[in-house]
Structure 1
Amino acid sequence: MAKLRVHTDRIEVHLTPAEKSLALRGADLVVQRDDIRSATITDDPWIWIRGIRRRGTEVPLVVAVGVWKYHGGSDFVIVKGKRQAVVLELAAGEFTRIILSTNHAAELIDRLKLTATPDVVEGD
């Protein structure tokens, strides 16, 4: 389960060793808060996955972890089952959007609205 750290200037997505292995990625994700254009909660994250898997693992409707490439850029996806997810639309950086399953979607959205001390939100 990925851990999210929400700071005043950035969000860090700390991947578990299993998620790093499934995503074929060695590093965690860091997104500058200024780069976040929007954050959306969705009950069906599978419909938000676009393009083709470039690097990572997918078992449809079970798990999708990694990078999906589409004509306008790349998305990073961590979707598990039919859990609720947060879709972060990004203006700049390595990815165009991040789709992340979490049991704490509403809490994450609230943390993004506030500029406070670092908080940890558990992903799923």
Structure 2
Amino acid sequence: MVTLLLDSTRLEVVLSGAERAMAFRKGNVAVERSTITKVQLTDDTWTWLRGVPSPGTHLRGIVAIGTWKSAGGDDFAVIRRHRPGVVIDLEGDPEYQRLVLTTRHGLALVQALQVEVAEEPTDVVEIAAETGAVPVAARKTRTRKTPAPAPAV
């Protein structure tokens, strides 16, 4: 589980020694609070992972830690198993465009950042569809075949 430190000017993702080794980083990840544009809660952080690890460690379904490079920009990820997490979009940060983190304290982070939160809970699929991050295919409606009448005896 990732440790997040928040003060009035920045958010810091504190990495353990093992996490630093897997992320190929010497220090923690710190972003200015003013660069945070959106914070989204998610039930499965794996769906938000984009690009290839460079440098980073990726064991499918188990762990993804490090920098992910893609055409959309660089992301930093700390993902463990299929656990809830948070996706933090950044604008103007020199290093990353997005942080994808596994944490059970996502709601507390949103409240601490004083980011607007909808009054009613919103499904993650709907949030993803609004941002265009995950394409949502239209569901096909299933029609049941009516059983043929039994032959008269």
TM-score under structure 1 length normalisation: 0.88
Question: Are residues 1:63 and 2:72 paired?
Answer: no
Aligned length: 114
- Structure with higher RCO (Cα < 8 A, 6+ apart): 1
Structure 2 unaligned segments of length 5 or more: list them: 116-153
Question: Match for residue 29 of structure 1?
Answer: 29
Give the alignment of 1:67-82 within 5 angstroms: 67-82=67-82
Deviation string for 1:5-31 (max 9, x for gaps)?
111111111100010001011111111
Contact 2:74 2:98 in 1 (8 A): yes
- Which SS does the other structure have where 1:47 is aligned? helix
**Alignment partners' CA distance in 2, 1:63 and 1:10:** 26
| Structure showing greater Rg | 2
Deviation, structure 1 residue 102: 0.5
Following superposition, which runs of at least 4 residues in structure 1 exceed 2 angstroms of deviation? Answer: none
- Unaligned stretches of 5+ in structure 1? 115-124
CA RMSD of aligned residues (A): 1.1
* Higher percent of residues as strand: 1
Calculate percent identity across the aligned residue pairs: 37
